[in-house]
Structure 1
Amino acid sequence: MAEEVPTTPPPAPLYVDGCPGCAMDRKKAANKGIPYKEFFFVAVTTIASALPISSLFPFLYFMIEDLHVAKKEQDIGLYAGFLGASYFVGRFLVSFFWGVVADRVGRKPIIIFSVASVVVFNTLFGLSVQYWMAITTRLLLGALNGMLAPIKAYSIEICRPEHHALGLSVVSTAWGLGLIVGPSIGGYLAQPARQYPNVFSEESIFGRFPYLLPCLSISIFSAVVLVSCIWLPETLHKHKNIDNEVEMSGHSRTPQTEDVDAGKSLYKNWPLMSSIIAYCVFTLHDTAYTEILSLWTVSDKKYGGLGFSSKGVGQLLAIAGLGLIVYQMFIYRPVHRYLGSVNSCRAASALSIPLIAAFPFMTHLSGSKLGLALYFATILKAALGITILTGTSLLQNYAVPQHQRGAANGVAATAMSFFKAIGPAGAGALFSWTQKRQDAAFFPGDHMLFFILNLVQCIGLVLTLKPFLAVPKHYK
């Protein structure tokens, strides 16, 4: 009987003293549980970064009116689209740069700088009294807020592999929550002298600058988050060479190899690029949907809208945000565990199509029936959108090693920002066009609006199928 050869246990990883990445790896090895503290910091910094992105949508229609740039009421959507797109144009120009810098100097400095930019330029946007000033401050806010690329890499690096889906879902949910709570803040606090005349007078600073209060509130929250960034641990590996110079490393000095090709060009990495393409189409859809929903709900009923006030839109989006929190806490993780990233994306995308098609028919409802239908549809759409974006983000981060994650997420953020810049501008122009065709025989008014939204959603669904989407080899 042949003697069994004893198996050699895998060698232990070799940690480098003074390296923040190795310190984080050592902490993860010692603690196999969920890093709640780190996830909390990820959530609040992500929310601070996301709040100003769509906070202007509930009052955008009224802001364009007050700036007196639209000659006709039907042209307001066009100017609103350009203003909404300016943030994403700025982010498109420099997102890849922030991702590369995060791979070189670390995640923490970029996160801190991004939150600081929100404090400054979001406040300046609230002080805008001319259209060019509003466009410029939003453009700079987008260009200097480089949070999205490093925070996704960071959420993967602070937890063990079994918690990666949760880490990215924290980012996606916090980002989605910021995109929902931001508009609710904008809706409740914009034009305070008109909404709350007993508290704010027309002669006060908030009367002279009717859109300062929501922007200032977000900036104050971001300032508090900026202070909390002191306790953020760095995760990037920084090893010293024989000349005592610091070198960036993608991992701790361990004999274990990664399943992904560390030297592979990002642009030749098809699992990465295919997931980015799908991600871009879905973000284009979500951005266009957010602006269209806000413009559609506040526009006059004679143009196919619902005639809501900015406060009404804020309340709608706030309730959708609460629903999103419940979904994230109790439903998302079992869904992801059962379906996985790819199948959950496909299912959520398919379910979104009939849901979007139902929106224009809500104009035939009124009272409590309208409220229940609109609230239910908005909550469900937010949950489906988060499921899709989390799944595609997870595939992107699994397609590259650690030292390429910042750059990979930078590429994703750059491409996504281009599509998001198209979203508001295209949605604004589309909204203005559909308002002028209320009596058309083929898909009149808002029916055409949501039909085109569904076309984009269908394209995204197709991109999650083979051969368009390539799944990373080591992803299960």
Structure 2
Amino acid sequence: MDEEAPTIASYVEGCPGCAMERKKASNKGIPYKELFFVAITTIASALPISSLFPFLYFMIEDLHVAKNEQDIGLYAGLLGASYFVGRFLASLFWGMVADRIGRKPIIVFSVISVVIFNTLFGLSVKYWMAITTRFLLGALNGMLAPIKAYSIEICRPEHHALGLSIVNKYKPYFYIKPTQQYPNIFHNKSIFGRFPYLLPCLCISLFAAIVLVSCIWLPETLHMHKNIYSEVEMSSDSRAPQTEDIHPDKSLYKNWPLMSSITAYCVFTLHDTAYSEILSLWTVSDRKYGGLSFSSKEIGQVLAVAGAGLIVYQLFIYRPIYTFLGCVNSCRAASALSIPLIAAYPFMTHLSGFKLGLALYFAAIVKASLGPQSQRGAANGIAATAMSFFKAIGPVGAGALFSWAQKRQHATFFPGDQMVFFILNVVQCIGLVFTFKPFLAISEHYDLK
């Protein structure tokens, strides 16, 4: 729901939130500078999540924890989930802290945690170390809730869709095992020979360190005074916001339109996370198990192209679609289009060469663009907590499902990986159903379109 800016009479000198409101009132254009900072800090936060999937299968192999090849998916799922378990336990806390001390300190602290723990993850030589560093990275990276609030607070209402689309997700990927892929550059006895997964993690950490320096120019947006809402409420200006929706004493848990939208979004999040892991595991698994026998480099290329397609979609296509259809209808359309797309994946094993590449790249780009798009601190803290819980379930469930499916290659009903993509579609259908009444409650003043 869009909110009007406070009236001029309600501005308080020295308050960073009011300074931002003044800036928005005087400049009706898109805040490109602020959105740029949102984009790069979001990338720094999101890269450790998405960059794991292309090499997860190979990392589990090298850590020697799986007893056989079919069990790799289960251990990969547990490792993929550890980040989201940490985020689930801490998201609400970080959202509340961001509402108390400001958005910027939490964002800065989160970037610092990426620099430290993402590097330590790349140095993992034991499964327990990999699990622990991923868990701490998720728990200490509290950026998700405040950055969504921040992306809204720096934009006028007409630009909120663009601000949220910037936050959504980016998926650049880097190559692993550099001593094998680039023996002329990286020697076997170098640090990258001993730690084959350090290079992608180190690249991300270096990028996060650069982003950390850029946070100096990141403006604060939180209102640093207690009575602004009551002041605005007493104002006779007709443009004053309705405190019924934003009063800090109102329980967010009793706001059914909010909670029902979070519920629907969590289902889509569960599906999206499970899909990301399954796609990587499926493409790199052997063809005798229904996979595509891709290398890490090949799946990295597929996911990188899908990420580039997603960026193009968010920058040039998402906003017009959002304006034309509205949030709910655009979500319904994306969900419905995803169903036949996912159903086609297991049949790609019958393709090869150019036809396989064309089909897989097209499907990956379209599916990335159809992923869930997002919904200020505490409210986003609740959403992030619930979403992180479902994201934690996603990799574990996907990994267990993938391992089980590989052991039933000759079953009569949806053999092998056909069962995996069938269950993915079941979850997608449940999410689609949750976007309709009575499951989804729409606020009276919300434009459904």
Which of 86, 90, 94 lines up with 2:90 in the alignment? 94
C-alpha deviation, 1:12, in angstroms: 4.0
Query: Residues of 2 paired with 1:19 and 1:251: CA distance?
Result: 16
* Number of equivalences: 435
Q: Are residues 1:128 and 2:124 paired?
A: yes
For residues 362-386 of structure 1, what are the alpha-carbon distances to aligned partners after superposition, in whole Å with 9 as ceiling and x for unaligned?
Answer: 000000000000000000000111x
Shift of 1:54: 2.2
1:433 matches 2:404: yes
Q: Tell me the equivalent position of 1:193.
A: 179
CA distance, structure 2, for counterparts of residue 286 and residue 120 of structure 1: 27
Q: Which residue of 1 aligns with 2:3?
A: none
Write the mapping of 1:438-453 to structure 2, written as runs, cut at 5 A: 438-453=409-424
Aligned 8 A contact 2:81 2:392 in 1: yes
Asked whether the 8 Å contact 2:77–2:397 carries over to 1, the reply is yes
Q: Is the 8 A contact 1:15 1:253 kept in 2?
A: no
Matching of residue 225 in structure 1 with residue 225 in structure 2: no
**1:18 counterpart residue number:** 14
Q: Is the 1:356–1:450 contact (alpha carbons within 8 Å) kept by the matching residues of 2?
A: yes
Kindly indicate whether residue 368 of structure 2 is the aligned counterpart of residue 382 of structure 1: yes
Structure 2 partner of 1:414: 385
Q: Hey, what does 1:472 align to over in structure 2?
A: 443
> How far apart are residue 330 of structure 1 and its match?
2.1
CA 1:249–1:314 in structure 2 vs 1: closer, same or farther (change >3 Å)? farther
Which amino acid is 2:373 matched to?
L
1:16, 1:252 within 8 Å by CA — same for their partners in 2?
no
Counterpart CA distance in 1 for 2:250 and 2:166 is 29
Alpha carbons 1:100, 1:406 under 8 Å: kept: yes
* Secondary structure of the corresponding residue to residue 224 of structure 2: strand
Report the Cα distance in structure 1 between the residues aligned to 2:336 and 2:139, rounded to whole angstroms. Answer: 34
The CA distance in 1 between the partners of 2:422 and 2:121, in whole Å, is 33
Structure 1 position 261, deviation (Å): 5.4
Q: Deviations over 1:308-330 (max 9, x none)?
A: 00000110011111111221222
Aligned to 2:286: 300
1:248-259 aligned within 5 A: 253=232, 255=235, 256-258=240-242
Where in structure 2 are the equivalents of 1:30-69 lying within 5 Å?
30-69=26-65
1:102–1:204: structure 2 CA closer, same or farther, 3 Å change rule? same
Q: Does 1:260 align with 2:231?
A: no
- How far apart in 2 are the matches of 1:12 and 1:66? 61
- In structure 2, the residue matched to 1:398 is none
Q: Which residue of 1 aligns with 2:161?
A: 165
Pick closer, same or farther for the CA change 1:126–1:251 going to 2, 3 Å.
Answer: farther
- Matched-pair contact (CA < 8 Å) for 2:260–2:441: yes
Q: Secondary structure at the match of 2:241?
A: coil
> CA 1:251/1:293 → structure 2, altered by over 3 Å: closer, same or farther?
farther
Report the secondary structure of 2:9's partner residue.
coil
Aligned 8 A contact 1:96 1:411 in 2: yes
In structure 2, give the amino acid aligned to 1:126. G
* Matched residue SS, 1:237: coil
Q: Given the two structures, how large is their TM-score scaled by the length of structure 2?
A: 0.95
Please give the alpha-carbon distance, in whole angstroms, between the structure 2 residues aligned to 1:131 and 1:210: 14
Q: What is the TM-score when the length of structure 1 is the normalising length? A: 0.89
Alignment CA distance shift 1:248-1:135 (3 Å): farther
Distance (Å, rounded) in 2 between the aligned partners of 1:141 and 1:13: 43
Seen in structure 2, the aligned counterparts of structure 1 residues 195 and 267 have a Cα distance that, compared at 3 Å, is same
- The answer as to 2:368 corresponding to 1:372 is no
- 1:230 & 1:249 partners in 2: Cα distance? 27
Q: 1:11 to 1:348 in 2, by over 3 A?
A: closer
Deviation at 1:475, TM superposition (A): 2.3
Give, in angstroms, the shift of residue 169 of structure 1.
Answer: 1.3
Structure 1: tracts of 5 or more residues without a match: 1-9, 240-246, 394-404
Structure 1 distance, partners of 2:53, 2:35, is 28
Supply the RMSD in Å over aligned alpha carbons: 1.4
- Contact kept? 1:87, 1:141, Cα under 8 Å: yes
* 8 Å CA contact retained: 2:94, 2:106: yes
User: Structure 1 residues 105 and 11, CA, compared in 2 at 3 Å: closer, same or farther?
Assistant: closer
Instruction: Say whether the 8 Å CA contact 1:237–1:252 is kept in structure 2.
Output: no
* 1:331 aligned counterpart, secondary structure: helix
Is the Cα–Cα contact under 8 Å of residues 236 and 250 in structure 1 kept in the other structure? no
- Asked if the contact 2:162/2:315 (under 8 Å) is kept, the reply is no
Deviation at residue 249 of structure 1 after TM alignment: 5.1
The AA in structure 2 aligned to 1:448 is: M
Give, in whole Å, the separation in 2 of the partners of 1:248 and 1:300: 62
Distance in structure 1 (CA, Å) of the matches to 2:70 and 2:276: 19
Q: What is the DSSP-based 3-state SS (H/G/I as helix, E as strand, rest coil) of the residue aligned with 1:238?
A: coil
The CA distance in 1 between the partners of 2:58 and 2:230, in whole Å, is: 51
Structure 2 regions of 5+ residues with no counterpart?
A: 1-5
Please give the alpha-carbon distance, in whole angstroms, between the structure 2 residues aligned to 1:330 and 1:21: 29
SS at match of 1:472: coil
Q: Deviation of residue 253 (structure 1)?
A: 4.4
> Which residue, out of 30, 53, 69, partners 1:73?
69
2:232–2:241 CA contact under 8 A, matched in 1: no
Code of the residue aligned with 2:366 in structure 1: it is L
Identity %: 78
Distance apart, 1:250 and its partner CA? 5.6
